[in-house]
Amino acid sequence: MPTYKAPLEDIRFILNEVIDAPALAKLPGYEEATPDNIDTVLDAAAQLCEEVLFPLNQSGDAEGCSFDNGNVKTPAGFKDAYQIFREGGWTGLSCNPAFGGQGLPVLLNCVVDEIVSSANMSFGMYPGLSHGAYNAIEKHATDELKKIYLPKLVDGTWTGTMCLTEPHCGTDLGLIRTKADPSGTGPSNQYKITGTKIFISAGEHDLSENIIHLVLARLPDAPAGVKGISLFVVPKFLVGRDCSAPAAGASVATATAPVRNNVTCGSIEHKMGIKASATCVMNFDNATGWLVGKPHKGMSAMFTMMNEARMAVGLQGLGLAEVAYQNAVIYAKERLQMRSLTGVKFPDKPADPIIVHPDVRRNLLTMKALVEGCRALALWVGRELDVEAKHPDEATRAAAGDFVALMIPVIKSFLTDSGFDVANMAVQVYGGHGYIREHGVEQYVRDARITQIYEGTNGIQALDLVGRKMAEDYGRLMRQFFHPVAAFLAAEKDNGALAEFLPSFMSAFGKLQMATLTVAARGIGNPDEAGAAATDYLRLFAYVAVGFMWLKMAKVAAAKMPAAGDRAGFYDAKLKTARFYFARIMPQVNALNLAILSGAKPMMDFPVEAF
């Protein structure tokens, strides 16, 4: 049976000693986000995840969701767990207090997303999708719609979805066919929505009283392509005084009994992983919906949800990597197999624990270095989400927004790739026992695999990085990473504690800079050049970004270890893990750089008929 303990010591180290999260309490609206209050929330989140959500993970995977005549039932225990989750205020952690939220930093929500994903990723899908719907409505809907929907999404009584994909189109949303026709009754922004959406996470379930769908559809006068897409809120149950349209100023308390909208679940998918998360085919048959934002501007509104979702998916990969690593370490310390290559280490045992073997240590240290480095990178980006939202200086907000926009595809793709890789390494550490369901780690492999696909495949994230983010305003976004790194290197060039790490990092950083120029220059003349380099470039960028966080963590650890007392071992492990990262992981930058330099010809000149 697997086990899980929230990694609070490492989380607090990053928050308090590496990225200065306590400074967020100085921002307007975040005055309550003091270290003491944050610690209280972290302790409560850990208890919830360890004691309520994690025990349901394996049973939820075994049972899965069931479908019967349009109704979906979640696995045993999920409904009660959701009530505990909702009543604890977790659905409104970082939401606006005006709608009943707690108004805490998005950064804290990122931390909770990670540990929920470690404990029970399938469960986390339900409130996670709701938060995306909340964001889209809060930022783009009318005040009337906000009053109707946001309080219930915030308190978790209602949940939300994002309905994008259709049977004939996935990433290419310009091909969607779902129609939105003016209804002729009610307010001017009321429409009738008709179409089918697939792969809709949490599209139907038994956890909440209502499900609020955010649906992309086309108006009758819509231009072709993505410029003709609008966004609509389409509830499972209609709300308002007349149960057909939200009346101005009406509250749910004064509304008549809800009426079922023409939204039905046609089926649920039978999947490789996240089996306790309902993935639905949703049919909209002249369903009543309301326009969110402006006509034909649905993609910009939907990106509010998509960017939030991409950050959350990256944290899912991180969460699965953490729990897989924890269990691999426990197993490696307990499993007896052969003797150490350098002589017996445990003479009182019939064999040595496998943790003495170099290849097992290679796996474990790779897992540890990726998990802790990716966590630091993700929380740095999470911190800047709060700076973008709350800082009083406009230029500072804009710079933070540019940094977040640049890093979102890196977070989504590299953390999910790493999550899958780490879960696979956990199975390898277990050997044959890892392939057996009862040990639990094979589930992490299956669950992690989808994170590399949904919310934009990782190949699409790479194209976003090189095709949009790199080119925007002559590299404006890129400078938000390159300049802080260059400034750090200039400030720390004589720091003896970093002397062993700096040469490796500076070499890799130089290759990233040159690869950026190469991809940009070649892509101007031939877009296939940028496309061919995109995935390798993103991984190169990610290794350097994670390496930068290891430099920052090593600086803190080296400075604090001499006077750390009982915590000296923690800081010493940080330095040793940094040493492993720069010696054994960072060199992958060299191979990626060579692949980028090879250009598009080796793949694009290959004839189709030869495949």
Which amino acids are annotated catalytic?
A: 455
Helix 298-334, helix 441-451: angle, nearest 10: 160
Closest by alpha carbon to 116, among 363, 347, 313? 313
Q: How far apart are CA 23 and CA 549, in angstroms?
A: 19
Closest by alpha carbon to 48, among 107, 78, 102, 88? 88
Indicate the Cα dihedral angle 135, 402, 407, 17, nearest 10°: -90
Per-state percent for the chain, helix, strand, coil, to nearest 5: 65, 10, 25
Q: How far apart are CA 453 and CA 289, in angstroms?
A: 29
Residue appearing with tokens 């990782």:
458
Q: How far apart are CA 195 and CA 217, in angstroms?
A: 8
In the DSSP assignment, the letter for residue 29 is: T
163-190: burial string, b at 16+ Cβ within 10 Å, e else? bbbbeeebeebeebebbbeebeebeebb
Q: How far apart are CA 292 and CA 209, in angstroms?
A: 22
CB 387 within 8 A of CB 451: no
Q: How far apart are CA 159 and CA 150, in angstroms?
A: 10
Q: How far apart are CA 586 and CA 543, in angstroms?
A: 6
Whole-Å CA distances, 209 to 71, 152, 156, 401: 13, 10, 9, 35
- Classify residue 544 as left (phi > 0), alpha (psi -120 to 50) or beta: alpha
CB 391 within 8 A of CB 401: no
Q: How far apart are CA 304 and CA 526, in angstroms?
A: 31
CB 356 within 8 A of CB 340: yes
Q: How far apart are CA 488 and CA 1, in angstroms?
A: 44
Residues forming beta bridges with residue 66, ordered by sequence position: 73
Residue appearing with tokens 């996470």:
201
Q: Residue 71 has which token pair?
A: 């109704």
